[in-house]
Structure 1
Amino acid sequence: MINVILVDDETDLFPLFNVKFKREIRNNEIKFNFFTSARDVLEFIESSANDSFNYILSDINMPDMNGLELLDSIKRFNENQKVFIISSTNSEENNIKAKRIGADGFLQKPIDFKILKEILV
């Protein structure tokens, strides 16, 4: 089973993921762990095994800690963790920063779920 963390302060994205991946969830092919806070994600990751999650998808703009700061913390904890940054703006500067820190990819909102499925499953 593929285990994915999604962190975004906009919770309207969570039900959309459940709908778009309904078949995969029902068939126990994928599991999503939804978080609204980067700090909560870090606590959750630190209390879990290093290899518990296949992917982490993080919004870049969040109130308590931005996605680049979260990415940096995750990569310091586990440099092999696959992390994708999600943004509603196509910022070349953020894309370059994310890649430099170690992001495995950069997803544009609205998310193209066909592309995301190719990445995740």
Structure 2
Amino acid sequence: MTLVILVVDDEPDIEFLFRQQFRRDLRARRFDMDFARSAAQALGRVAQTGERTLVLILSDINMPGMSGLDMLPHLRARRPDVPIIMISAYGDSQTRNTALERGADDLLIKPIDLGWLRREIEARLEGAA
């Protein structure tokens, strides 16, 4: 069983950052990371997980086209079982409340606390085992 984390962000630097941060885990095949650069691409990836098990979705809020907040209800409808953590540069209470109301499990503020994220991923991996 291949465990997958989907990262949704229009910034190409995010993919590089995540691949670098989790390179040992990826090389050891503890999990895979898929990357989508738009909400539309993410919704397609969620629909096509196949034999792989989606264990976590990380998504930026501000993206061109459909925002992460607008994408949330669509993700929840397709995969109510998968935790979704939104990522934003803005940690105000309105953004947090909107994300939680639309189905996010949590909101991570940029700059990303990679230690916290690693612990969160570990918890999801243990839950899927």
TM-score of the aligned structures, taking structure 1 as reference length: 0.92
Which residue of 2 is the match for residue 14 of structure 1? 15
Over the aligned positions, Cα root-mean-square deviation in angstroms equals 1.6
The correspondence of residues 22-101 of structure 1 with structure 2, limited to 5 A, is: 22-49=23-50, 52-101=53-102
- What stretches of structure 1 of length at least 5 have no aligned partner? none
Q: Give the letter aligned to residue 111 of structure 2.
A: P
Shift of 1:94: 1.2
Which residue of 2 is the match for residue 116 of structure 1? 117
| C-alpha spacing 1:61/1:78, structure 2 compared with 1 (3 Å) | same
Task: Provide the aligned length of Structure 1 versus Structure 2.
Answer: 121
Do 1:60 and 1:66's aligned partners in 2 also have CA atoms closer than 8 Å?
yes
Q: Give the letter aligned to residue 116 of structure 1.
A: L
| C-alpha spacing 1:87/1:50, structure 2 compared with 1 (3 Å) | farther
Do 1:2 and 1:120's aligned partners in 2 also have CA atoms closer than 8 Å?
no
- What stretches of structure 2 of length at least 5 have no aligned partner? 123-129
